[in-house]
């Protein structure tokens, strides 16, 4: 049995503090436990703690403020997502890609973009919808929406879910301002700082940024052409005991894959065994030609929370998202939503409701699916001719996940494309592990433009 001497104890105290600073349990500017409290907590004398603190102060790790105590050195800096990842150039910086994808009226060609081209979105229907909202009752144009969100839209969302085998009552639906805000609210509802979350690898890059902002540890589950690698999922669940697993069951971003029933069943079994929740992002679900199984449908909202929205399919200018979850979590979630935002947009909820009931949404979905089906086949052929290989045939949607077969690094290709005013989305951007370096995600909506494909050929050729 090891007997520590005075020197050893001093170093042990100092090292404990160093570790807590390194882990940011003690952040810059935070107060260090008082000498007395630390001495009691570690069962050492006060003089040992004083010596340890003096050592840390001499190192510059902490500073003494007379009459007030010791503090972690350094000015607290604001949260900088950029500083939380490696230093990146524009071609592989997810934050920069997000900005570019959001830029309206950009003159940049967007084969790597995350949204449909402006011309594909139903602007006439949205204009009609806005005029209809302008005629709505006064509360809809002047007042906060109801705490849980516009009841008629919640009823519609519940009904649409049932068509995909997902049974929730309107009382289980909470409206929010977007699917992204839905995930953010869920993350804040469920996560403690330092919790682990599993995502797919590759996955939508913003998932990682959003979860990191919530100070979660984000770990990727390798994707296969048939969905997440179940052996890897089982091992990661056992090792990390994650709070939840975040996935797209339908038309996964960026791979375009959808879950098979047996895979859905096994994911739920595994998550149940490890007491891990599932957050199922439905954002592309309405673009499926016919519905793949949903985890929420199999599970009945015991373990699964579903999120979705209309920014990808209807309009991103008047946003509206939703969360479906177990009944006993609705009230505390709505409390949190009110505290953090006072509520979702009433006008946007009424607009979405109008477009979902007047037939506009069904028409635009049918038209978009038809255009995408044609474009998907053509773009896949065109890209194959450029020497790229398709990873898995998507059932629908607008993403193609393609592999460069000539050993080139996709980030290099994206850098070259940028010099030609073209945004590409290299695989590494979507990978929490920094993998998939020979992959690119293509948006077939943008690639279907012959001018864009011509430029793309030049870049890829």
Work out the burial of residue 89: count CB atoms within 10 Å of its CB; fewer than 13 is exposed, 13-18 middle, 19 or more buried: exposed
Decide whether 156 or 314 has the Cβ nearer to a copy of itself: 314
Is residue 22 at the binding interface for a copy of itself, with CB under 8 A as the rule? Answer: no
Place of tokens 């086949």: 377
Is residue 251 at the binding interface for a copy of itself, with CB under 8 A as the rule? Answer: no
Pick from 339, 406, 451, 461 the residue near a copy of itself by CB under 8 A. Answer: 339
Helices 6-22 and 46-59: crossing angle in degrees, nearest 10, is 50
DSSP bridge partners of 18:
none
CA triplet 245, 201, 293: central angle to 5 degrees? 55
Decide whether 50 or 418 has the Cβ nearer to a copy of itself: 50
Decide whether 227 or 345 has the Cβ nearer to a copy of itself: 345
Decide whether 37 or 262 has the Cβ nearer to a copy of itself: 37
Place of tokens 């929730």: 168
Q: Enumerate residues 213-242 that contact a copy of itself by CB under 8 A.
A: 213, 215, 238-239, 241
Q: Is residue 95 within 8 Å of 81, Cβ to Cβ?
A: yes
- Helix, strand, coil % (nearest 5) of the chain? 50, 15, 35
Pick from 41, 262, 373, 458 the residue near a copy of itself by CB under 8 A. Answer: 41
Smallest distance from the beta carbon of 387 to a copy of itself, in angstroms?
A: 33
Of 261, 309, 280, 284, give the one whose Cα is nearest residue 394.
284
How many of the chain's residues bind a copy of itself (CB under 8 A)?
109
**Residue 146: count of CB within 10 angstroms of its CB:** 16
Is residue 330 at the binding interface for a copy of itself, with CB under 8 A as the rule? Answer: no
Q: Enumerate residues 172-191 that contact a copy of itself by CB under 8 A.
A: 177-178, 180-181, 184, 188-190
Smallest distance from the beta carbon of 458 to a copy of itself, in angstroms?
A: 27
Decide whether 22 or 366 has the Cβ nearer to a copy of itself: 22
Separation in Å, CA 362 to CA 49, 106, 120, 232, 279: 69, 28, 14, 39, 26
Helices 205-213 and 179-190: crossing angle in degrees, nearest 10, is 40
Q: Enumerate residues 346-385 that contact a copy of itself by CB under 8 A.
A: 346-348
Is residue 333 at the binding interface for a copy of itself, with CB under 8 A as the rule? Answer: yes
Smallest distance from the beta carbon of 264 to a copy of itself, in angstroms?
A: 24
67 phi-psi bin (left φ>0, alpha ψ -120 to 50, beta other): left
Smallest distance from the beta carbon of 251 to a copy of itself, in angstroms?
A: 18
| Mask for 46-85, x = binds a copy of itself (CB under 8 A) | -xx-------------------x--x---xx-xxxxx---
| Sheet containing strand 425-426, strands side by side | 388-390, 399-404, 439-443, 425-426
Q: Enumerate residues 271-290 that contact a copy of itself by CB under 8 A.
A: 275
Smallest distance from the beta carbon of 374 to a copy of itself, in angstroms?
A: 22
Decide whether 167 or 336 has the Cβ nearer to a copy of itself: 336
Pick from 162, 235, 273, 317 the residue near a copy of itself by CB under 8 A. Answer: 317
Q: Enumerate residues 82-141 that contact a copy of itself by CB under 8 A.
A: 82, 95, 98-99, 101-105, 115, 118, 121-123, 126-128, 130-131, 133-135, 138-141
Smallest distance from the beta carbon of 431 to a copy of itself, in angstroms?
A: 17
Separation in Å, CA 288 to CA 105, 250, 324, 391: 28, 7, 20, 18
Query: Coil, strand, or helix at residue 18?
Result: helix
Decide whether 57 or 213 has the Cβ nearer to a copy of itself: 213
Decide whether 314 or 444 has the Cβ nearer to a copy of itself: 314
Does 202 sit behind a cis peptide bond, omega within 30 degrees of 0 on the bond before it? Answer: yes
């Amino acid at each position: 049995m090891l007997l520590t001497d005075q020197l050893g104890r001093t170093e042990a105290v100092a090292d404990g503090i160093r570790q807590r600073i390194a882990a940011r349990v003690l952040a810059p500017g935070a107060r260090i436990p008082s000498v007395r409290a630390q001495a009691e907590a570690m069962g050492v004398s006060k003089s040992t703690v004083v010596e340890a603190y003096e050592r840390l102060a001499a190192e510059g790790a902490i500073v003494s403020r007379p009459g007030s105590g010791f503090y972690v050195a350094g000015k607290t800096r604001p949260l900088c997502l950029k500083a939380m990842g490696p230093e990146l150039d524009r071609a592989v910086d997810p934050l920069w890609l997000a900005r570019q994808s959001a830029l309206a009226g950009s003159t940049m060609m967007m084969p790597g973009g995350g949204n449909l081209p402006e011309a594909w979105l139903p602007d006439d229907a949205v204009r009609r919808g806005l005029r209809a909202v302008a005629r709505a009752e006064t509360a809809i144009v002047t007042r906060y929406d109801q705490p849980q969100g516009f009841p008629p839209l919640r009823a519609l969302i519940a009904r649409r879910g049932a068509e995909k085998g997902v049974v929730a009552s309107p009382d289980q639906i909470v409206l929010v301002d977007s699917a992204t805000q839905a995930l953010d609210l869920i993350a804040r509802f469920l996560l403690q700082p330092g919790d682990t979350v599993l995502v797919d690898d590759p996955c939508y890059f913003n998932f990682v940024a959003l979860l990191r902002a919530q100070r979660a540890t984000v770990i990727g589950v390798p994707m296969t052409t048939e969905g997440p690698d179940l052996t890897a999922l089982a091992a990661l669940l056992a090792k990390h005991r994650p709070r939840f697993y975040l996935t797209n069951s339908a038309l996964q971003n960026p791979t375009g894959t959808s879950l098979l029933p047996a895979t859905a069943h096994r994911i739920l079994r595994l998550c149940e065994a490890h007491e891990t929740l599932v957050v199922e992002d439905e954002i592309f679900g309405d673009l499926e030609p016919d519905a793949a199984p949903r985890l929420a449908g199999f599970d009945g909202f015991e373990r699964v929370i579903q999120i979705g929205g209309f920014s990808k399919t209807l309009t991103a200018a008047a946003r509206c998202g939703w969360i479906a979850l177990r009944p006993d979590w609705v009230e505390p979630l709505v409390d949190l939503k009110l505290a953090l935002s006072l509520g979702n947009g009433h006008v946007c909820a009424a607009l979405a409701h109008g477009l979902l009931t007047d037939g506009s949404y069904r028409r635009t979905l049918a038209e978009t699916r038809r255009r995408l089906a044609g474009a998907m086949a053509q773009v896949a052929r065109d890209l194959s001719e450029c020497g790229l290989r398709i990873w898995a045939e998507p059932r629908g949607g607008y993403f193609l996940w393609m592999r460069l077969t000539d050993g080139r690094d996709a980030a290099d290709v994206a850098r070259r494309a940028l010099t030609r005013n073209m945004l590409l989305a290299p695989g590494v951007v979507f990978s929490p592990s920094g993998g998939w370096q020979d992959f690119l995600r293509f948006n077939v909506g943008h690639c279907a433009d012959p001018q864009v494909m011509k430029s793309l050929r030049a870049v890829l050729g």
